[in-house]
Homo-oligomer: A and B are copies of this chain.
């Protein structure tokens, strides 16, 4: 195996759940955001009137400034070299600043002015996260629309509800889809709230902005973080948050909640795609290297793999938060970066696969109907009990249900059941409760 240290480590070969959906969080994207943070700092100084506007424009031009919420482009900073150079000091910002000063020597005094490496790296990660969340949110909206449409279409498609793996009572395909949609919407709302709260970071060496205050005076220094955030399109911080990591953990929690919501869809699709169940099928099933007949529910499988990984990355973010000792911590912060990126990557991938999954999902009404009839009427045993137990007692009712046969003839054979509308009583469609309303209320809320 190669020992070439410049070999790309990870192109997604072992991450089919995320491969091809993660450009927003690639190393190149991170470099673009790091450069943008440095440029924005110069621009903020100019916006406050302390740096020369022409100089800020020159820096912006040379380093490829693209405006708020966007990384720089064409800056010529190479991610691989920066990654290698960043090991010695433990982060890539120190070598980056050197490179940028070489590229725009006339602005050397204004680059990174008053900042510490954590200011730049935190801000860049927030910027990368902001963009990734926008992509994820788009996917969630598409997924919600597909699920809402599915719920509407199958509002009255009666199906077996299953609890603890066993047929329980009837429900509808629409209720199930509406539940999926509700969870997706909730996750989306939480994700958007976390995104909107994402603040720029600017605190200087230890969170007091001492260098800036020394340099520019307290008033200007106090205005700098907000000006910096405005250039980038991020929220202004209430104070430096070097060791208060809730912006990261709240985002992380929302990302995990997103993958949870998609995980439920995938779990249900996988279960209901089983050969014996067959109620659902993915639009584009995956093939097998050995078995030509197989159509695997690949999107569900990949989303499920994401759902099994995401919460643990949330742990790393929370530990990094809880162990953020001193004015900047001794390892906790460094643990946060790859965990946040991988969590974004997982949510990007899972949501992209969810779009495909929900757009193509097929319901087999025949299988739904066949399964519903599978227990010979026991699917409405709860209802039967309410009617029959008063007539024949609990014991005889239990005998009635025992075994596998159709309940209709057995009930009709009961003298006590004379006059009952047995067919109506056994009709699953007549025992779906508020299923229709639950679907309809989803529409109203959308």
Roughly how many angstroms separate A243 CA and B239 CA in the complex, as a whole number?
A: 38
Residues on the B chain within 8 Å of A435, using CB: 208, 210
B274–A274 CB distance below 8 A? yes
Among the 9-residue stretches A45-53, A55-63, A136-144, A319-327, the one with 4 or more Cβ atoms under 8 Å from chain B is A319-327
Among the 9-residue stretches A227-235, A309-317, A414-422, the one with 4 or more Cβ atoms under 8 Å from chain B is A309-317
Report A152-202 residues with CB < 8 Å from chain B CB. Answer: 160-172, 175-176, 178-179, 182-183, 186-187, 190
Interface 1/0 per residue, A309-352 and B, CB below 8 Å = 11111111011111111111111111101110110010000000
Roughly how many angstroms separate A306 CA and B337 CA in the complex, as a whole number?
A: 11
B323–A267 CB distance below 8 A? yes
How distant is A412 from chain B, measured CB to nearest CB, in Å? 19
A311–B301 CB distance below 8 A? no
How distant is A240 from chain B, measured CB to nearest CB, in Å? 8
B290–A264 CB distance below 8 A? no
A211–B163 CB distance below 8 A? no
A211–B11 CB distance below 8 A? no
Give the residue of B28, B29, B164, B259 whose beta carbon is less than 8 angstroms from that of A301.
B164
A334–B211 CB distance below 8 A? no
Sample 29 A-B pairs with CB under 8 A, ordered by A number. A2-B29, A12-B83, A13-B30, A16-B334, A89-B296, A90-B286, A161-B208, A164-B294, A168-B205, A168-B294, A169-B290, A182-B238, A182-B244, A208-B435, A208-B438, A210-B432, A212-B433, A215-B386, A239-B438, A250-B253, A253-B257, A260-B321, A263-B321, A275-B375, A276-B371, A307-B322, A308-B322, A309-B338, A312-B313
A383–B161 CB distance below 8 A? no
Residues on the B chain within 8 Å of A221, using CB: 433-434
Give the most central of A5, A164, A206, A321: most B CB within 10 Å: A164
A296–B397 CB distance below 8 A? no
Q: Considering only CB atoms, which chain B residue lies closest to A186 in the complex?
A: B246
How distant is A296 from chain B, measured CB to nearest CB, in Å? 4
B383–A211 CB distance below 8 A? yes
Give the residue of B5, B117, B276, B445 whose beta carbon is less than 8 angstroms from that of A276.
B276
Q: Place the interface of chain A in its size category.
A: 35 or more
Residues on the B chain within 8 Å of A2, using CB: 23, 26, 28-29, 32, 73
B319–A308 CB distance below 8 A? yes
Quick one: given A26-B2, A433-B212, A434-B213, are A441 and B274 in contact (CB under 8 Å)? no
Q: Considering only CB atoms, which chain B residue lies closest to A326 in the complex?
A: B162
The count of identical subunits is 4
Residues on the B chain within 8 Å of A79, using CB: 8, 11, 13
Give the residue of B4, B165, B268, B287 whose beta carbon is less than 8 angstroms from that of A296.
B165
Report A72-126 residues with CB < 8 Å from chain B CB. Answer: 73, 79-80, 82-84, 86-94, 97, 112, 115-117, 125
Roughly how many angstroms separate A302 CA and B333 CA in the complex, as a whole number?
A: 10
Quick one: given A161-B205, A327-B171, are A20 and B5 in contact (CB under 8 Å)? yes
How distant is A136 from chain B, measured CB to nearest CB, in Å? 14
Residues on the B chain within 8 Å of A253, using CB: 249-250, 253, 257
Q: Considering only CB atoms, which chain B residue lies closest to A339 in the complex?
A: B309
Give the residue of B259, B275, B308, B337 whose beta carbon is less than 8 angstroms from that of A14.
B337
Q: 9 other contacts beyond A163-B206, A249-B260, A311-B314, with CB at 8 A cut-off?
A: A3-B24, A8-B9, A168-B327, A169-B208, A210-B382, A210-B433, A210-B435, A211-B386, A263-B323
Roughly how many angstroms separate A69 CA and B257 CA in the complex, as a whole number?
A: 27
B171–A288 CB distance below 8 A? no
Residues on the B chain within 8 Å of A337, using CB: 14-15
